[in-house]
């Protein structure tokens, strides 16, 4: 594996940024879970509703589930980045082993691929299950 070019101070900076973002996301997830629980209680308590109300309520529930999924995926990506910091592999591309680059990490601290590898992945795969 190649050496990364991140200094100890840069690693600490990204560790703090990732930890702070993880805390934010966990708070957002908890709020979303509370909100979806409230929405379920409201739907259960409504005796009479028309079809438009039911459809609208379903759309809100789907949007909420999509938000929860997006937030959960970001928490997982951050957890992986924090594990990579602890293991000493943070800042190195998982595909080619080259440094990811401070600029890319600055805009996407949980990035696991360098720009060329990420670009290649996005162009070679029409549907991406894993994000970066």
Sign (positive/negative) of CA torsion 37, 43, 46, 47? negative
As given in the structure block, the two tokens for residue 60 are: 């809100």
pTM: 0.71
What is the reported pLDDT for 35?
74
| pLDDT tens by residue, 48-80 | 566 665 555 555 556 567 888 999 999 999 999
What is the reported pLDDT for 65?
75
Position 91 pLDDT exceeds 60 = yes
Rounded to an integer, the average pLDDT of 1-24 is 89
Position 127 pLDDT exceeds 80 = no
Which comes out higher in pLDDT, residue 2 or 83?
Answer: 83
Which comes out higher in pLDDT, residue 46 or 116?
Answer: 116
What is the reported pLDDT for 124?
80
Domains of the chain: 8-124 (1.20.120.910)
């Amino acid at each position: 594996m190649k050496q990364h070019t991140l200094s100890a101070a840069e690693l600490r900076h990204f560790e703090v940024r990732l930890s702070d973002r993880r805390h934010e996301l966990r708070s957002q997830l908890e709020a979303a879970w509370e909100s979806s629980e409230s929405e379920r209680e409201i739907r259960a308590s409504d005796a009479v509703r028309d079809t438009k109300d039911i459809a609208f309520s379903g759309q809100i529930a789907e949007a909420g589930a999509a938000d929860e999924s997006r937030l959960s995926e970001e928490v997982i990506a951050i957890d992986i980045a924090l594990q990579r910091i602890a293991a000493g592999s943070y800042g190195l591309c998982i595909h080619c082993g080259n440094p990811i680059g401070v600029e890319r990490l600055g805009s996407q601290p949980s990035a696991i691929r360098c720009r060329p590898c990420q670009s290649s992945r996005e162009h070679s795969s029409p549907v991406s299950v894993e994000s970066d």
